[in-house]
Chain A
Amino acid sequence: MLISRAPLRISFVGGGTDIKDFYSEYPGRVISTTIDKYVYVVINHAEFLNEFMLKYSQTEIVKNIDDIQHNRFREALKEVGIRSGGMEIASFADLPSKTGLGSSSSFSVALIKALYANKGKKISKEQVAREACKLEIDILKEPIGKQDQYAVAYGGLNIFQFNKDDTVTVEPVFVDFKTQADFEEHMLFFYTGITRSASSVLSEQKSKIKENFEIYKKMSDSVYEFRDKLIAGDFKALGEMLHHAWTWKKKLSSKMSGGEIDALYESALRKGAWGGKVLGAGGGGCLLFLAPPKKHAAIRQELSSVAESFGLKDSRLINFMLTNSGADVLFNTANNDHA
């Protein structure tokens, strides 16, 4: 048996600049962190099973790889070069999908890491990120960028720079435990219960990159200001930066916000939040706010009642901590030779 996992991530500023249409013209940059919520992939060798048995929200039992319905499973198995069955693969997640926390890339990264480990190969953070990008962007043609795969493969609080030649520069942001804990206490994280696929928002954004080039440039450049304010512990300034970015981002896609999202966002600001953002590509998922800790109770109450008025039954607050470790193989009795 083999267990791998990859964390979920929160991106603060720069999302959208990780798309090739942008970074082939100007360096794309994102500042993000991983959190203590994970996607797990388990591989078990089943001696009496000739097929592949895949267990996720559904169960698939297939003899031939090409018959696998789940795109990522199918293409990842092909990429890593696994052909013969006798294998159960299952996935587990701490949070549901479509929360805007990059969970689909966490799954790809954890899966690729596990499939290589299963072959007795240990791969670097860079390789697992690069291969997950290839799987999702080149093979599956998803209209997404590269930030999630890199964020969750590396782990921690980092600035990622997406270069013209398709390389990615990783610059860790060093924040001591006290600033980090203060930062966590200022963040308020609300799952709206609205689930929309990132693809529809991203497709529209992607088609408008040329048109909105100057906005993207500003977002890419702003990661350094975000880093400096974070190191200084100026959470009010960070909240205000998120609010500015939110107003810019609304110009990037008509689907980015919507009646409910806008209403929730504004209700939090009314109760004292400095600013916030929709996590992920927008249109649903989670809202992240920065607010003085003493205002959190009032904001939580307001968000709950606004969500209730929209009938968003699944909405809830999510508690989390920031983490450092990226994608890992936690357990491996299948193929684990150190020599």
Chain B
Amino acid sequence: MLNYIENFTEELSHHLAALPKEEISRAINIIKSVYERDGRIYVFGNGGSLAIATHWVGDFNKTVFGNNLDRKMRRFQAVRLPSTETEITAWANDIGFDMIFAGPLQNYLQETDCLIAISSSGNSSNVIKAVELANKNHVPVIGLSGFDGGKLNQLADAKVVVKTGKGAYAMVESIHHAILHLLTSYFQDYFNDLIIRQDGKKPQKNSLS
């Protein structure tokens, strides 16, 4: 039993250590840019990846400003895609499962937005359809993939791949979760630091006034 647990955690640590840190930095910069231009972050995936997306949206929109909820400041607008079950079933039933993300997305996607696409294989065709829509509109894409990265890793602007053997869902999904928590922590720390500095700082006056 202990061996089994040790093997699992060792494998997880091995993949965590091999994460593409520059690509995660790129992802952070994309999200910072979206905040500056008051855009939205659309996050989506299938099955477990959709659950990860939903969890992250709840965390990110609130937790980032959790220590400063009383302060009036612009917050993030992260949206799980599609935002209603109605849209998922309507697009799947009427048009095709391929369009459950791209279909609703084309209604509201703006150039100021970004996508976080989550697919362990990197090849889910409905995820790729939405990514292609973003590519066509020059909307940046953060791609969280696993295995060999698949098409998603080729099309994404931030290529965050957890390189594993084919089918290692437990590894990939656990680490996708950790990466998304990293993004939330980063921006929580960033805004905490910013607010502390702003409050501590006396406003600089124009030199000659």
Q: Name A's B-contacting residues (CB within 8 A).
A: 36, 117, 122-125, 155-156, 172, 174, 176-178, 181, 185, 190, 300-301, 303-304, 307-308, 313, 315-317, 319, 323-326, 328-330, 332, 336, 338-339
Contacts and interface: CB of A to CB of B under 8 A. Distances in A.
A317 B207 contact: yes
A316 B111 contact: no
A300 to B, nearest CB: 6
A200 to B, nearest CB: 27
Contact of A315 (B107, B111, B189, B208): B208
B137 A303 contact: no
A172 B105 CA distance: 29
Interface string B6-39: 0000000000000000100110010011101110
Interface residues of B, number: 33
A177 B190 contact: yes
Contact of A174 (B22, B36, B190): B22
B204 A190 contact: no
A17 B136 CA distance: 34
Contact of B33 (A117, A185, A325): A325
20 contacts: A122-B136, A122-B138, A125-B138, A155-B33, A174-B22, A177-B194, A178-B189, A301-B207, A315-B207, A316-B209, A317-B204, A317-B207, A323-B33, A324-B32, A325-B36, A330-B112, A338-B105, A338-B107, A338-B109, A339-B106
Interface in B32-66: 32-34, 36-38
B133 interface: yes
Contact of B208 (A156, A316, A336): A316
Given A315-B207, A316-B206, A316-B208, A178 B193 contact: yes
A172 B29 contact: yes
B208 A304 contact: yes
B208 to A, nearest CB: 6
Contact of B138 (A123, A303, A317, A339): A123
A264 to B, nearest CB: 11
Contact of B106 (A36, A301, A323, A338): A338
Contacts of B194: 177, 181
A297 to B, nearest CB: 9
B36 A172 contact: no
Contacts of A156: 29, 33
A246 to B, nearest CB: 21
Contacts of A317: 204-207
B208 A177 contact: no
Residue of B105, B109, B186, B204 ringed by the most chain A CB atoms within 10 A: B204
Contacts of A178: 189, 193
Contacts of B209: 316
Nearest to A125: B138
B204 A300 contact: yes
Interface string B183-209: 000100110011001000000111111
Given A325-B36, A338-B133, A174 B29 contact: yes
Interface string B113-150: 00000000000000000000100111000000000000
Nearest to B209: A316
Contacts of B37: 325, 328, 330
B21 to A, nearest CB: 9
A1 B110 CA distance: 15
B156 to A, nearest CB: 15
A122 B138 CA distance: 7
Contacts of A326: 33
Contacts of A122: 111, 136-138
Contacts of B137: 122, 338
Given A177-B189, A324-B36, 19 more contacts: A122-B138, A174-B29, A177-B186, A177-B193, A177-B194, A178-B189, A181-B194, A185-B197, A300-B204, A316-B208, A319-B204, A323-B33, A325-B37, A329-B112, A332-B110, A336-B110, A338-B106, A338-B137, A339-B106
